[in-house]
Amino acid sequence: MSKLIMMRHGQSQWNLMNLFTGWVDIPLTEKGIDEAIEGGKKIKNFKIDKIFMSSLMRAQMTAMLAMSVHNSKKVPVIMHPQDSELARQSVIHNEEALRNCIPTIIASELNERMYGDLQGLNKQETIDKYGKEQVHIWRRSYDVAPPNGESLKMTAARSIPYFEKYIIPELEQGKNVFISAHGNSLRSIVMDIEKLSTDEVLKLEIATGEPLVYNYENSTFTKEFLGAA
């Protein structure tokens, strides 16, 4: 049996400022840092063999902060594309150091919904301008995208195939995988593994810095409920 551990990033600076963020690369707030560390404490005893995180800083900060309190004391090492200069120049030549590393993959497929023309706008001011109903449709409908942005359906169209192609094979090999990503990319993955309807996924809320843990065995996911850290 293997484990899938997923965590939505902690509070970001634009979460705090009530701005649409999407793919704008914003760091965590002090509260977000605390959330990431507290989330990390809840998974500190789980063996982690591989980490996947989005290409956005807030998810990457969350992964690294969570792992900073992990009992294994292993070091996440970002793996770069094999044909890149970074990959050629970052070979580890110490076997003991290599054993103490956790391969860490950056994937834009796990990024948040891209909010298009809304990115950087204040959410309340957007409601005042376009109306509460229209903004609600942009934010919470399954297949309606904001202007020049992505819907949840479009987000799922990139996150789920990536999950099935790159992450499930790791679970099939008995590895424990940690994903640090975003509310909407994680909602789409949960929709896939729990076989939620489009109506059910729209009601799904994923808290910042709160780990979701699933056991995986015989191609079946079973949710594990965590106690206090």
**42 in Cβ contact with 229 (< 8 Å):** yes
Respond yes or no: is residue 172 known to be catalytic.
Answer: no
In sequence order, which residues have a C-beta less than 8 Å from that of residue 211 and are 6 or more positions away? Answer: 5, 6, 7, 39, 42, 43, 226
**36 in Cβ contact with 209 (< 8 Å):** yes
Of the candidates 53, 173, 65, 71, which has an alpha carbon nearest to the alpha carbon of residue 108? 53
Respond yes or no: is residue 224 known to be catalytic.
Answer: no
Tokens of 139: 């934010």
How long, in residues, is the chain?
A: 229
Catalytic residue, chosen from 35, 70, 109, 112, is 112
Residue-wise over 31-51: b if at least 16 C-beta within 10 A, else e? Answer: ebbebbbbbbebbbebebbbb
The end-to-end CA distance of the chain, in Å, is: 22
Catalytic residue, chosen from 9, 35, 109, 150, is 9
Active-site residues, by number, are: 9, 112
